[in-house]
Structure 1
Amino acid sequence: MLLASASISAISTPTLAQVVGNDEVSGPDNTIIVQARRRDEDVQDVPAVVDSVTSEQIAKLNFRDFREVQNVVPGLELTTESNGVGGSAKLRGVNFDVNASGFNATVQFYMNDAPITAGLVLQQMFDVGQIDVQRGPQGTLRGIASPSGSITVTTRKPDLYEAGGTVDMTANDIGTLNFRGAFGLPIIEGIAAIRVAGVIDQNELNRVKTINSNFGGRDPSASTEAGRVSAIVQPADWLKFEGVYQHMDRRVRSYDQVASFSEVNPAALPSPVYIDTSDRLSDQVDPTRIHQKYNIYNWRVEAGALGQQLIYQGGYSTQDVQSRTTLDSAVVFPGRNVFQDTDSRSKSTSHEVRLQNQDRLFDFLDYVVGYFQQRNSAPTDLLRRTAVRLPVAFGGGLATIVDTPIERRGVSKERSFFGNLTAHLGSATEISGGLRHIDYESNNTLAVGGPIIARDGQDEKKWIYTGSIKHNFSPDFMVYASTGSSFRPGINVVGNFNIVPSALERSFSNLPAETSKSYEVGFKSTMLDGRMNLNVTAYHQTFKNYPYRPTNGVFFVNTAAVRNATGQVTGVRQEVAQFNFVGAVPVEVNGVEGDLNFKVSDRWNLGLVASYSLGKIKDGTIPCTDINQDGNPDLVTTAPTLAALQGVTGANNLSTCQTSIRSGLQAPFSASLQSEYRIPISDRVDGYLRGLASYNGKSQADPTSRFDNVGGYALVNLYAGIRDPEGNWEVALFAKNLFETEKALSRGAPLVTNYQQLGFGGFGPTGPILTGPTSASTTSTYTGITMTPPREFGLNVRYSFGSR
């Protein structure tokens, strides 16, 4: 371990293993085979940036949670929502907020070629064959249009000729036990086979504990149980059937991490208990509780004849998420059940039929044509509990809690036709182009307290395109240029429950469709007799109507129904509320990406990948809090009063600002360095040292706040162990975040609890006279933060046999 830390060199790079189609095999020259253009190609021949993470790399780096993939794909950020409802991938300088954009992702996920939502993927990984991250606009070759890229997860497939499997166990010093296994068996040799895989995982998440243990707070925990069954039937060489079913059940008990605002703002009021970032503590009394149940069905048919191939890919998934999260962020009513309950049940179905050539037409043409359709629905029920507070003269405690049921219903549908044609002009030059016609429709309703208060939807039709040209100046040097457009339907933002919204509010809740154009140039090269690859790409992308969502939310004047304890409406009230409205803005992104893979010797491999991407809003109109009316978003450290907010917003209920700020929250520059050094111990045992260092440069989590800027930092993982030279078994000791880097990655504004305040009007014949209620809020001395993962030391043991 000490030797490895002196030379952070040590890991097999993504281009040192091979996957052909959906089945892992050993190939010549240790190349990577991808299906970026719907046919098997060496990644070095594809005129696009594709980062491949193989099953071998996942095992060697002990990646258990899918989000760890971002450590080897610079520029990629993978996150999940704190309420467990969804997740997102961010790439090439722009964000994706699942609460703002729903199913219309900037980076689209696929499982075995069928589109799938991020929330179903960003979980515990097991029995994965390969992960391909393709950058840039997608959509003319398959699936769904996405402006920034796609991530394809290919699960391992059964072997038709040989039985085999893998057993993998990991334990660490911070409460993790992880067991993964898989077994495959030919049912009829050469014709039918089945594979079963699963994972059981227990861990303590980010290890954030509560300071309020006197209320019975328990340690954080997450438990996952998941299984997958895969089958292949190939009755003839020209016909193949595949099917996959996966189920996952996950339960979470967690606390939102906080830090004293005075840690970054000396002028802030002191906290009752000082908490800094490294403490990994929360002032949350009651934990967030999440229960997720996922089912994924995936099926495929391939038929070939006369040099052509017809492929049908189907997918169906269900997501059932129940969560309970606190609405008392400032802990005004500790232990008094001021919660929001969320019950989200989504379903997604997709069908794609694709025809493509197996043999090149006229010796120089490749084509892909197809039809795609998808239907999504995500009915969500919320129960929001509003606290009503007693007058200060009576202790200021909780008088009652008023429940407001909220229902969101919606369905989206897409139907599209696509095609791509590639012309090979001799052995050195290639021209490719594609088109897709999209027909999208959605319908949504929002009901608050029973009545429907809003109906919205989209009906959009759009053409998008891609084009590229590449030229091989030699077998080892290729230059390419490409362009492409993309489209995302306008979004209908969920979460503003104002029963009397203004026209301006509606404009920041129902947005027009987003379009984008991208231009890219690059080269791919192989040197030193195939021992080194060097690839570099530069790109420029522009967006119209990009949905920008302020990180910390916007204060606005909300009108809500006044209800009694039985839920009956007795009137209306105005109050200060906070919501992440979304503005449709123009964005420009410029970036450079590169990777270097070098086989230094038979024992030593080295890989370096780097990305720089800077996205900026170009004079866009965004929703904002602007109490001082200077046209710039305020740095809010406490909630404004209702009178102050009404005075500046008038009938609009909220303010707008004209601004040019970053469109992405992640660091513009990031890089990862990987390597492995092998040490033969005997004919039957190899020793090794591995290292992974991932670096993230300076970033601004919220461009409008000076208190949450993040300085550059690096995370270092080291691995040492012994293994069978043929890869049949391995025993490894590892350290993740070896140097215990503790960095706050995001820091919100001070936490706020909104409630209804009763007044005291003196005494009457029957006792005290209570007036109101009126809108009120309390601002905490703490801010919500996220930070780098905790350090862990662990042991991994893996055994494989037969066909793995």
Structure 2
Amino acid sequence: MMRISEPWRLNGWLLAGVSLLSVSSNAHGQQVPQNAAATQTDAQSLDIVVTAARTTQTLRDVPMSVNVATGEQLLKYNLFDIKDISRLAPGLELTNTNGRNNTTTLRGITFDPDQGTGPSVQVYMNEAPVDPQYAYTAMYDIQQIEVLRGAQGLLRGLSAPAGAITITTARPSFSEITGYAQSSVTNRSGYNVQGGVSLPFSDTLAIRVAALVDGNRGNNVYNITRDERSRSRTESARFTLGWQPSPDFTAYLTYQYLHADNRTNQQVFGTGNAPNSVAPFTVATIAGVGPVVVLVPSGDTRRSGPALGLEDYEGVAQGRNRFQNNFHFINLTTDWNLGGATLSFVGSHQYARLTQERDTDFGNALLDSNSPSFGVIPNKVDSAELRLASNNPLGFTWGVGAFYTKRTGTTEISQDGTSYGAAAPLSAGLFLPSKVQITVPVNSETSSFSGNLGYRSERLSVTGGLRYTLFRGKQRADIVASSSGGQVVVPAGGGTYLVIPVGPFSQNIVGIPPELQRNDNEALTGGATISYKITPEFSAYASYGHSYRQGSSGVGAPAGISNDLIRTNPEKSDSFEIGVKGSSFNRRVNFTLAAFYQKFDGYLSRFTSIAYNCANDVNNTCGGAGSLPVNNATDVPATNGTFDINYNGDATVKGVEWTVDTRPTSNWDFSAQLSYSKARYNGARVPCNDFNGDGRPDATGTPHITGTGNVSYCITNGRLANTPDFNATANTEVRFPLETVTPFISGLISYRPPVTDVTNTRFPSRTNINAYIGVRGNEKRWEVNGYVRNLLNQKRVVEISQGNLLVNTYDSGYRSVLLTAPREFGATLKYNW
């Protein structure tokens, strides 16, 4: 097992403190008034109103585990990045390792956006499904964010196994001019300026305008080769028009534009290497063999870069990584009260365009060259949902709905496909320069129809329903490989290599076999809940949910590789949850406790950089028609390269979530949350790198395939994600009211224990503390605060590559890594009206 050293260890008192904090939560807080300047009332006199179950309920009445971040909380704790809401929802991790893909993990269930399936956690903005890549990029003028835990297969149009995140933007006021403005700066070149204002034209027509400008250093990595630091800048504006011609009809039309420019350097660490200047060479011709290259040690001292430590936050790539997002979002929501029922409509049109430039040689293995990749990824999504639900507060309830979404766009990627046959100087020209053009058209449709029935009394509530979904789509990838010609070398034994000249060529490749291109499926999902109010302040509930995710075909897998390594099967899961919710001491103490169990039939996951072998094939197509199995005991070379594989494996998830929210005094709020989730495979046979043949994942030594398949397989009961079972978060604020102002101190704490990830690498614990000190007006119209993020300045590993970064046979001497952000100081000024 590889262990990453832990330079700083918690003192016993801090561990005890975290254990104490882990028993409380924001289960019941203050509902945010539309006028942000309103005088603060007792936080326990109002309950947060949520729409988690597609009806308006207080958080303590909704029969599921839900975390809520109100717009007031987001501003209060200077949470400018939506990934920071994990501070208010334990067991939720939102990460971005490369400036391109946002990954959401909840209850130990994760998702890689590159695997081409539906996400494990579905994201909605104003109840319309959106891609996290855009929803997470700009967080401003938010009314509320709800984190729904557990399998989702009934309430919203798209099924998800781990949960859903719903983001509701602030809406205009029909009665008065309201708004806010906020500005923040940090010592690490960070800045965030945002604001919003509601302008009522009458009691039936109003508009709200909001905008954001945000800049920061991204992952804080400095590229020593390019003399360039990572940086990010986001600009966004949103307009919402509200129309309320009568008390029975309300409509909101929203348009949002976003532009984000992320220049993200990949951090590496290690000794570096001299991979492409191993030796000068001579070429000799051997009778019956042909030209042979003989390498002679040269003593060349150039390296891919200097020795770098884990905490250096430095990179060495020659090319740049730049991702530019442009996003347009139009959303219409309407509610029409027909008396006995309400007819609701949610529609959206989204157009996004991601332009990316990447150097895939992160470790600078090729000193005199880079490995550029250019891509344009357009994404157009249209969705519509129509729902009719009864308005009965008591008695029998019902609802029916229809949902439709269509996604189109053609991804185009051009990248360097150059092959290098031996560790000879690049100046020798012993390589085959080539380019690969990949075109991936997307055209998919999802239609679903749902219905539910229920009964509600003063104390008992029972509901259940089904959703029938049709998936229609075709996955295709057109690949063109071309070259102007060159020469490559292959090992010939005894330290010599054969020179093989290759002339110019252009080859069309089918990226997905024709028989695996269609992706048509149908699914039946749904759920049921029952809740009982034992006393006015104490209730219990039980729920069941069934989710479904359709499989996908990998793009650009090695030609003829076995179908199970290209096409995944659908994933199904059944989730069960029981819980209690209650309050005491005149609602000064509120709590929830939930236990859950979820069983996966064919959990979908992605396994990256898996070594494969295509030797001993009659047709030389690695598993094509009429081929023989590979025989890895005698294959030369032992591996032919690496690729990323989607694969299914059975799994179970079980755990407990406990939350408590308290107000010990009128000027002290204290909340904390605890989550324990054990997400594991059940003896699943999955692709892996197993170079030493012991049946466990490793990448030590010469790449080698264990067994006789195209890849190695490992039997695993390991984690589904690189997250620990246990997580705890807490937040608190203490106020010191004076005659005209209120000084305060507050803090956010999150604790993540040590964890051994799916590659058998052990990561140390993380304790992240954000601390705040400031003063606000007694009517909360203004506030000034200073803050520090990562108070303890812990620099912890978030992601790390399994082995050194390679380009064919060239070893960079580095591993890629992502660390938590170092300590950062800032100041914020807010004004509300």
TM-score, with length taken from structure 2? 0.84
Matched, 1:48 2:48: no
Contact 1:13/1:675, CA 8 A, preserved across alignment? no
Matches within 5 A, 1:128-207: 128-187=142-201, 189-207=202-220
Contact 1:19/1:33, CA 8 A, preserved across alignment? no
Aligned counterpart in structure 2 of residue 704 of structure 1, from 753, 756, 759? 759
How far apart, CA to CA, are the structure 2 residues paired with 1:129 and 1:313? 18
Q: CA deviation at 1:795?
A: 0.4
Contact 1:731/1:798, CA 8 A, preserved across alignment? yes
- Name the counterpart of 2:324: 291
- Name the counterpart of 1:526: 583
SS of the residue aligned with 1:16?
Answer: coil
Contact 1:689/1:721, CA 8 A, preserved across alignment? yes
Q: CA deviation at 1:654?
A: 2.0
- Name the counterpart of 1:414: 446
- Name the counterpart of 2:335: 302
Aligned counterpart in structure 2 of residue 750 of structure 1, from 803, 810, 814? 803
Aligned counterpart in structure 2 of residue 721 of structure 1, from 774, 781, 787? 774
Letter in 2 for 1:210: N
Alignment CA distance shift 1:406-1:605 (3 Å): same
Contact 2:25/2:591, CA 8 A, preserved across alignment? no
**CA offset digits 1:201-251 (Å, max 9, x no partner):** 121112111232xxx432211111111111111112222221111111111
Matched, 1:245 2:255: yes
Aligned counterpart in structure 2 of residue 577 of structure 1, from 633, 637, 641? 641
How far apart, CA to CA, are the structure 2 residues paired with 1:170 and 1:354? 41
**CA offset digits 1:715-752 (Å, max 9, x no partner):** 00100101012221110000110110111122112333
Letter in 1 for 2:263: R
- Name the counterpart of 2:313: 280
- Name the counterpart of 2:104: 89
SS of the residue aligned with 1:306?
Answer: coil
Aligned counterpart in structure 2 of residue 452 of structure 1, from 493, 510, 517? 510
**CA offset digits 1:102-153 (Å, max 9, x no partner):** 4x11111000011111111111211011000010111312221111111000
Contact 1:166/1:183, CA 8 A, preserved across alignment? yes
Matched, 1:624 2:688: yes
How far apart, CA to CA, are the structure 2 residues paired with 1:329 and 1:165? 45
Alignment CA distance shift 1:395-1:351 (3 Å): closer
Alignment CA distance shift 1:621-1:12 (3 Å): closer
Matched, 1:373 2:404: yes
Q: CA deviation at 1:313?
A: 0.5
Contact 2:268/2:315, CA 8 A, preserved across alignment? yes
Q: CA deviation at 1:389?
A: 5.0
Contact 1:556/1:577, CA 8 A, preserved across alignment? yes
Q: CA deviation at 1:371?
A: 0.4
Alignment CA distance shift 1:476-1:405 (3 Å): same
Letter in 1 for 2:80: R
SS of the residue aligned with 2:52?
Answer: coil
Alignment CA distance shift 1:733-1:453 (3 Å): closer
How far apart, CA to CA, are the structure 2 residues paired with 1:548 and 1:58? 32
Letter in 2 for 1:481: A
Alignment CA distance shift 1:7-1:590 (3 Å): closer
SS of the residue aligned with 2:803?
Answer: strand
Matched, 1:437 2:468: yes
- Name the counterpart of 2:659: 595
Letter in 1 for 2:790: N
Alignment CA distance shift 1:368-1:19 (3 Å): farther
Identity, in percent, stands at 26
How far apart, CA to CA, are the structure 2 residues paired with 1:375 and 1:743? 41
Higher mean displacement: 742-751 or 436-445: 742-751
Contact 2:551/2:570, CA 8 A, preserved across alignment? yes
Matches within 5 A, 1:460-471: 460-471=521-532
SS of the residue aligned with 2:307?
Answer: coil
**CA offset digits 1:481-526 (Å, max 9, x no partner):** 11111111112233x342x2222xx212211111000111111010
- Name the counterpart of 1:780: 812
Q: CA deviation at 1:274?
A: 2.4
How far apart, CA to CA, are the structure 2 residues paired with 1:606 and 1:118? 30
Contact 1:47/1:481, CA 8 A, preserved across alignment? yes
Letter in 1 for 2:249: L
**CA offset digits 1:320-346 (Å, max 9, x no partner):** 111111122331323634211121111
Matched, 1:740 2:793: yes
How far apart, CA to CA, are the structure 2 residues paired with 1:378 and 1:587? 34
How far apart, CA to CA, are the structure 1 residues paired with 2:153 and 2:36? 24
Aligned counterpart in structure 1 of residue 735 of structure 2, from 675, 678, 681? 678
Matches within 5 A, 1:6-85: 13=26, 15-18=28-31, 29-80=45-96, 82=98, 84=100
Letter in 1 for 2:216: N
SS of the residue aligned with 2:654?
Answer: strand
Letter in 1 for 2:735: R
Matched, 1:794 2:809: no
Higher mean displacement: 128-137 or 329-338: 329-338
Alignment CA distance shift 1:335-1:353 (3 Å): farther
How far apart, CA to CA, are the structure 2 residues paired with 1:19 and 1:423? 30
Contact 1:234/1:240, CA 8 A, preserved across alignment? yes
- Name the counterpart of 2:293: none
Matched, 1:688 2:702: no
Alignment coverage as a number of residue pairs: 734
Q: CA deviation at 1:72?
A: 1.5
How far apart, CA to CA, are the structure 2 residues paired with 1:554 and 1:95? 23
Alignment CA distance shift 1:377-1:276 (3 Å): same
How far apart, CA to CA, are the structure 1 residues paired with 2:351 and 2:204? 31
How far apart, CA to CA, are the structure 1 residues paired with 2:380 and 2:424? 51
Contact 2:27/2:59, CA 8 A, preserved across alignment? no
Alignment CA distance shift 1:53-1:14 (3 Å): farther
Matched, 1:476 2:512: no
Q: CA deviation at 1:442?
A: 1.6
Alignment CA distance shift 1:22-1:625 (3 Å): farther
Matched, 1:514 2:571: yes
How far apart, CA to CA, are the structure 2 residues paired with 1:502 and 1:679? 68
Higher mean displacement: 279-288 or 608-617: 279-288
Contact 1:76/1:90, CA 8 A, preserved across alignment? yes
Q: CA deviation at 1:664?
A: 2.0
Matches within 5 A, 1:314-393: 314-334=347-367, 336-360=369-393, 363-388=394-419
How far apart, CA to CA, are the structure 2 residues paired with 1:100 and 1:81? 15
Letter in 1 for 2:212: V
**CA offset digits 1:680-727 (Å, max 9, x no partner):** 122x211111011101122223x233xx31122210010010101222
SS of the residue aligned with 2:73?
Answer: helix
Contact 2:172/2:241, CA 8 A, preserved across alignment? yes
Matched, 1:653 2:716: no
- Name the counterpart of 1:604: 668
In structure 1, list runs of 5 or more residues that go unmatched. 263-269, 562-572, 755-775
Q: CA deviation at 1:165?
A: 1.6
* Structural RMSD (CA): 2.8
Contact 2:423/2:810, CA 8 A, preserved across alignment? no
Contact 1:548/1:622, CA 8 A, preserved across alignment? no
**CA offset digits 1:255-296 (Å, max 9, x no partner):** 11112279xxxxxxx996222221111122222111111111
How far apart, CA to CA, are the structure 2 residues paired with 1:519 and 1:394? 60
Contact 1:638/1:779, CA 8 A, preserved across alignment? no
Letter in 1 for 2:597: H
Letter in 1 for 2:520: D
TM-score, with length taken from structure 1? 0.86
